[in-house]
Structure 1
Amino acid sequence: MSSTTSTQEKMHHLDLDDTDSVESVNSEVMAFQGQPPALSGDHITESHSRHSFNLVHTLSKTLSHYKEEAEEDHQQLERLITNNAGVESVVELLEEGAGKLGPLENPYDIKKWESHAAPDTTYHPEDPWKYPTDSETGLRIVNWVDNDPENPKNKSKALKWSYTILLGFICFIVALGSAIVTGDLERPRAYFGVSEEVIILSSVTMFVLGFGIGPCVFAPLSEELGRQIVYVSTLFVAVVFVIPCALAKNIATLLVCRLIDGIAFSAPMTLIGGSLADIWEVEERGVAMALFSAAPFIGPVMGPIFGGLLADHSPTWRWTYWAFLIIAGSGYALFVVVMPETHSSTLMKRRAKKLRKLTGDPSYRAISELKIRSLKTIAQESFLRPFILLSELIIFLITLYMSVVYGLLYMFFFAYPVVYMEGKGWSASKTGVMFIPIGVGVITSSIIAPLINKDYNKRAQKYRDQGEVPPAELRLIPMMLFCWAVPLGLFPFAWSSYPHISWAGPCFSGFACGFGFTSLYNPANNYIVDSYQHYAASGLAAKTFVRSIWGACVPLFTIQMYHRLGYEWATTLMAFISLACCGIPFLFFFYGARIRTFSKYAYSPEMDSKAPDAENQKGN
């Protein structure tokens, strides 16, 4: 009762008219809760649009009052907004009613808020389009219109594919940077006079460790500032810090600069999936996502090949970094020239700002400009929630599985030199060639990825035709089929790695492993997204962080493990671990839906009608 009285006093203090009283706001809230907007394509039905605009109206008038009362004191304004329960409730409902998260979108986006444009109007950059003014809110909500020429999704196929290939190339470069140094570790070890463990720590571990740190910062930053500025600034830092690696006079320089490089290079790995979602419609994304999925595995596979050639034919170990600098610098220059901003909310804010300037009408507003997000909220969502979600059984076990797979990839970078260079006396460049079958397996998996996506859509459509939400467990079918590929590759690798046996056994075993690595990657991500729709980004961030930590640690003990256990049993141990992990997709396929009923974070169809309660729990 006291809470209600306090809210009424605050609303009365705003001098709103009767229609904007607490009772009116509450009636809007109840209507909104009882009948969530029915989305059809990109449009919100007219009946719920009225409720939605009433909420925007209340928010607009409230914000306007605060601005007039506290124009000279921005901190006081922010404090008033943050402490006002009425405004907070309206904003939460606005965000909820604006739509559900797409499979590759960040939860900081508010999407699908329509201004209901007249069907015969169009937008031209040089002829500002008059978005209609809503009679209740007085705002002109700026959004994409049909066939909007500035919408990245409406670009030509040729242009969209050029963007996609460029993004894939950047992803390849980043992944290459983590492994190219593995082809030549002995010369820098001798130069710095350090142990094998220290050179691995400074060259590989610190770089991969940065992959886990960066996403927590760059994902929310891109939602606030746009993708392009984050891409350009982080890639610039990453390219620049390759130079001191090549010029390093002591091991500390190499260690620090490789960590900075890893953090900076993690931004493209974090944002590229979202950029592809900006460019392609959902039904068109299959091939593009297959390219993106292959790049993080093709890059590391090519690393030992390039690094081995440089180790055998370059005058100094520094040429490994100079060569990578040339590749990364070329990719950066191409990116700056070709790649535009694609983030929808950022483009809408720019358009709204442009229209306000050209017309002198302050009512032009992008929906993202109406959001209120404190630094505390951003920090909680970016840094705390991923770790909270690790307590979820689904997130924990999928993360465990993907960490094992990721660790195996980096284990191979040191297992192959042990088997071929130590065991058979091969050169670094010749050993690097043995990684080719892994790359072929990755490419093969990427080729069939669109077919897997087509099969999923066919199965999911049966549920949609009945008005049901496709169960998240449909995403696990490819995992159940292909999870066996990894142990089937590791067991032959283990027992054909004797020095006196042909080189072909361990080499061609890599095909099954490469195929399994990529085939498991996408279904695992999709299962997390479908299981935790409202918290999907945090779930993926948790997976990425733990996976990167494990991937960074594996190189530190791989060589010792192979020396202590022997070539055969070291690989056999990892084969048994990967075999045990094969039970995870089967566990969730049969019991995943039941497990989600015990979670307050996992998504269920009933969650939509209980979303306000879920949001309240989220804040506790």
Structure 2
Amino acid sequence: MHAKTENHRETAPNQIKARQYMIHDMEKSAVTDPSSRAWVTWDGPDDCFNPRNWTTRRKWLVTLVASTFSFIAPLSSSMISPALPTIVVELHVDSGITTMMIVSIYVLGFALGPLYLGPLSELYGRKRVLEVSNILFLVFNTACGGCSTVPQLVIFRFLSGIGGSASLSAGGGMLTDLWDNEQRGKAMGIYTLMPLLGPALGPIIAGFIVKYAKSWRWCFYAVSIGGVLVQFVSGVLLKETYPRVILARKAERLHRETGDLKLTTKWEAEDQSLLQRMWQAFKRPIIMIATQPILQCIAVYQAFLYGLIYLVLSTFPRLWTEKYHQEVHIGGLNYVAVGFGFFVGAQVGTRLQDRIYMYLKQRNGGVGYPEFRIPLIWPGSLLVPIGIIIYAWTSEFTVFWLWPDVGIFILCASMILCFQCMQTYLVEAYTTYSASALAASTILRSLAGFGFPLFATDLYHNLGWGWGNSILAAVACVLGWPAGYMFWKYGKAMRKRSPFAAGEE
């Protein structure tokens, strides 16, 4: 709390009303009962408590801390891939599908968690939801390390996935609170990178844990130690950004200082009980994914890309140990190609997104649209199948190990370009309900991340690495190549018909 605020608490109630707070009568707000309540809102466009007016340094600090949540939880999703042979022997796993289930069940939690964690962040604030859900993640992830049976491991993996999923929706909502449209591209680039970079780096770390720690359990304990550090940093540095919560706290202070219970925010003035508001928030992502065509199109393409990368991540150890005969920890180093691809793609995207947006906005007479975030999806969707094909046939014929890594690099760099475009588009198209929109899109993509690895064993066993991956490349062409045109051509028209995109329900 700033010292300036503390000084205001000692100011007389009438001075507080006049000098510190802008309170608009209901008449001015065009609300039906002008004598009953008065609005509490920002102290003008330059109010220092409005997250949009925070210093750039403070905004980036919050953005980076929020992004660590979206890194540490997905890190655990693929962390155990190199340890699967050890887990299979120690826990007596006798099925390939069960083996893949141990990896992918975590991502199923990512599909269900945002359905309520995203809406909760729109009721109780981003910071509280992120930190409480991270505690749940830490408890269940640590429990995974103590499991002695497969059912225990599957159940705790699922619950830890739910706990770790808050960053996928609440974190994106936090960026909406902080950044103006013209500045949001770079921040979204970092936020989009982290959930993909985590699964890429996890197997590299785990390969050396399995080699030198001699226990797969430390794959979970190491992540939990990282999660504790993230929780501590968040408690010290992360600030609440959601305007609804900030203004509600402001109204509560006024109640205590003035005794005037008529002072309220526009959200608190809604004639709904807490249970009604929670039900309204919980059902919103389901309604959005069921009724919003533009959200459905984005969710389908995101689901394919997300499922594809988890299929690659789950089968990578098998490629390097069975076909290239590398040791587990050496084969894990090939995940560097995944991480490097995501990093380079993110760097290109973050540097170009805001520039393209500003250029198109100037050409449009100074009026910006979410569709101005779309252009980079065209080269991204073009390169995705090219990367798959290179990876497919160099793996099939076991050519020099660098060539499959080149294919994976191209695939991952182009994937994150597409992800950045679509994530930023959703945030700007559904500003008020950005967390719910991200939660809705997360449903399909997390289900794909859960399902794709389950058929990977049969896919490569029946068709081989070449033709199996070529089928995926063909699907990438069918879904990806028309996507950019569809979003660019019809996005605005579909948004105009959406009450959520207009910020109203």
TM-score category (smaller protein): 0.7 to 0.9
In the TM superposition, what are the counterparts of 1:337-376 in structure 2 within 5 Å? 337-373=236-272, 375-376=275-276
Secondary structure class of the residue paired with 2:264: strand
In structure 1, the partner of 2:359 is 458
1:531 to partner: Cα distance: 6.1
Secondary structure class of the residue paired with 2:5: coil
In the TM superposition, what are the counterparts of 1:164-313 in structure 2 within 5 Å? 164-194=63-93, 195-201=95-101, 203-313=102-212
In structure 1, the partner of 2:336 is 436
Structure-2 change in CA distance of 1:586 and 1:351 (3 Å): closer
Structure-2 change in CA distance of 1:397 and 1:358 (3 Å): closer
Deviations 1:286-315 (A, max 9, x none): 322211111111111101111111122222
1:420 to partner: Cα distance: 1.3
Letter in 2 for 1:555: P
TM-score normalised by L of structure 1? 0.72
Q: 2:434 and 2:71 mapped to 1: Cα distance?
A: 25
Secondary structure class of the residue paired with 2:395: coil
Deviations 1:122-163 (A, max 9, x none): 973421532366565354422222443433344443333222
1:420 matched to 2:320? The reply is: yes
Deviates more, 1:284-293 or 1:171-180: 284-293
Structure-2 change in CA distance of 1:430 and 1:240 (3 Å): same
In the TM superposition, what are the counterparts of 1:207-606 in structure 2 within 5 Å? 207-373=106-272, 375-376=275-276, 378-379=278-279, 382-383=282-283, 386=286, 389-390=289-290, 393-448=293-348, 449-465=350-366, 470=368, 473-498=371-396, 500-528=398-426, 539-588=437-486, 591-592=489-490, 596=494, 600-601=497-498
Deviates more, 1:280-289 or 1:533-542: 533-542
1:583 to partner: Cα distance: 2.8
In structure 1, the partner of 2:30 is none
Structure-2 change in CA distance of 1:231 and 1:253 (3 Å): same
Q: Percent identity?
A: 27
RMSD over aligned Cα atoms? 2.8
In the TM superposition, what are the counterparts of 1:55-204 in structure 2 within 5 Å? 124-128=5-9, 129-130=16-17, 131=21, 134=24, 136=27, 137=34, 139-146=37-44, 147-194=46-93, 195-201=95-101, 203-204=102-103
1:262 to partner: Cα distance: 0.6
Deviates more, 1:556-565 or 1:394-403: 394-403
Q: 1:281 and 1:534 mapped to 2: Cα distance?
A: 13
1:132·1:140 contact (CA, 8 Å) conserved in 2? no
Structure-2 change in CA distance of 1:485 and 1:425 (3 Å): same
Letter in 2 for 1:386: I
Q: 1:124 and 1:295 mapped to 2: Cα distance?
A: 35
Q: 1:278 and 1:537 mapped to 2: Cα distance?
A: 11
Q: 1:380 and 1:362 mapped to 2: Cα distance?
A: 25
Q: 1:349 and 1:603 mapped to 2: Cα distance?
A: 22
Structure-2 change in CA distance of 1:266 and 1:579 (3 Å): same
Q: 1:500 and 1:385 mapped to 2: Cα distance?
A: 45
Q: 1:221 and 1:187 mapped to 2: Cα distance?
A: 39
2:121·2:435 contact (CA, 8 Å) conserved in 1? no
Deviations 1:236-274 (A, max 9, x none): 111111222111121121111111111111112211112
Deviations 1:5-57 (A, max 9, x none): xxxxxxxxxxxxxxxxxxxxxxxxxxxxxxxxxxxxxxxxxxxxxxxxxxxxx
Deviates more, 1:526-535 or 1:213-222: 526-535
Structure-2 change in CA distance of 1:482 and 1:324 (3 Å): same
Deviations 1:350-398 (A, max 9, x none): 1111121122232332222212345456435533663564465543333
Structure-2 change in CA distance of 1:533 and 1:451 (3 Å): same
2:371·2:492 contact (CA, 8 Å) conserved in 1? no
Structure-2 change in CA distance of 1:537 and 1:245 (3 Å): closer
2:294·2:491 contact (CA, 8 Å) conserved in 1? no
TM-score normalised by L of structure 2? 0.87
Structure-2 change in CA distance of 1:482 and 1:133 (3 Å): closer
Secondary structure class of the residue paired with 2:7: coil
Structure-2 change in CA distance of 1:362 and 1:207 (3 Å): same
Q: In structure 2, list runs of 5 or more residues that go unmatched.
A: 10-15, 28-33
Q: 1:271 and 1:148 mapped to 2: Cα distance?
A: 24
Deviations 1:301-344 (A, max 9, x none): 10111111112222211111111111112212222222222222
2:390·2:406 contact (CA, 8 Å) conserved in 1? no
1:278 to partner: Cα distance: 2.5
1:424·1:499 contact (CA, 8 Å) conserved in 2? no
Structure-2 change in CA distance of 1:284 and 1:534 (3 Å): closer
- Higher Cα radius of gyration: 1
1:561 to partner: Cα distance: 1.2
Letter in 2 for 1:345: R
Deviations 1:504-563 (A, max 9, x none): 110121111111111001222344556667876555433210111111011111122112
Deviations 1:37-90 (A, max 9, x none): xxxxxxxxxxxxxxxxxxxxxxxxxxxxxxxxxxxxxxxxxxxxxxxxxxxxxx
Letter in 2 for 1:268: S
Deviations 1:598-617 (A, max 9, x none): x953889xx89xx8xxx6xx
1:165 to partner: Cα distance: 1.8
In structure 1, the partner of 2:31 is none
Deviations 1:438-464 (A, max 9, x none): 222211222222322221222123324
Q: 1:242 and 1:251 mapped to 2: Cα distance?
A: 15
1:230 to partner: Cα distance: 1.4
Structure-2 change in CA distance of 1:312 and 1:283 (3 Å): same
